[in-house]
Homo-oligomer: A and B are copies of this chain.
Amino acid sequence: MPSEQSLTERLLNGEPRAVARAITKVESGANGAAALMKEVFPKTGNALVIGITGSPGAGKSSLVDKLALFYRDRGERIGIICVDPSSPFSGGAILGDRIRMQTLGLDKNVFIRSMATRGNLGGLARATVDAVAILDAAGFEKIIVETVGVGQDEVEIVKTADVSVVVLVPGMGDDIQAIKAGIMEIGDVFVINKADREGVLRTEKELEALLSLAHRPDFWNSPIVKTVATENKGIEDLAKAIESYNDFQKTGESGLNRKQAIARWRLLELLRETLLVKTLKVNGASDRLEKLALEVAEKKRDPYSAVEDMLNSI
């Protein structure tokens, strides 16, 4: 068995197997990850991290694959992290991985990994940013974090990227207003994918109108890029838009502000997880939790008293 030291060394050399093992390690929990991440962290900061989110059905996977191929053709190494809401039991993540491995996975300059559902103790968001740091330290020049869905955790994760891309499609239906409202603040670049479909002009106009109302603290005007990912159209424009926000960010104070906000969020996530793990590790705490859960289920006790009781007893 290779020692801990050599895992870090091999990962810093960019060996895919070491990268995969390291990510598995950070997925399994913050405690196991700590020693590794302390070594990895100082080697990070060279990659451009791109977050891509949007509704299911927007064609994010195709877009990510085409963008990855575009970068690869420029001679870069690309890491892709898919944050997948599927349960590890249902096989969703694995299935998705396998399909994509057929087109991209045989290329050793492209590393693809799905991060599965968080467990009871949370930590998906923390594990995802750790995985990004590992890829960064391993020398991947571009790291794409793709989140399926528009949930809270997913939005938080995308916000940790250097550049956040929001993908829409023409005529998405009833909830488009709601989605747009929720993501206005996180999109540094907007993509209207499937731009060969009817209604693209209307979606573009609506989006422009919404963007004109938004007030970004950094005064950036988020560009709108039209793509047809399945036909490889608009991918270069997207890459340019991403680059332009990244350049913009480096000039002003907003870059450090953003990095500090991300760091604060990251510390809070890690603190939350660490506190819970430490508390449940106390002798008898897990049994106590089970007992209290049963009492709450049987309505013999309310959750607030139960938690107070638990904190007092340890």
Contact = CB atoms under 8 A, between A and B. Distances in A.
A199 interface: no
Contacts of A184: 90
Size class of the A contact interface (CB-based, 8 Å)? 35 or more
A262 interface: yes
B174 A59 contact: yes
Contacts of A150: 56, 85, 148-151
A219 interface: no
A89 B175 CA distance: 18
Interface string A114-140: 000110111010000000000000000
Interface of A: 30, 33-34, 37-38, 41-42, 44-45, 55-62, 84-87, 89-92, 95-96, 117-118, 120-122, 124, 148-155, 172-179, 181-182, 184-185, 214, 256, 259-268, 270-272, 274-276, 278-279, 289-290, 292-294, 296-299, 302-308, 310-311
User: From DSSP, what is the main secondary structure of chain A's interface residues?
Assistant: helix
A278 B310 CA distance: 14
Contacts of A57: 55, 57, 172-176
Nearest to A84: B178
**Shortest 6 CB-CB contacts between residues of A and residues of B:** A151-B151, A92-B181, A57-B173, A41-B302, A86-B182, A263-B296
B151 A260 contact: no
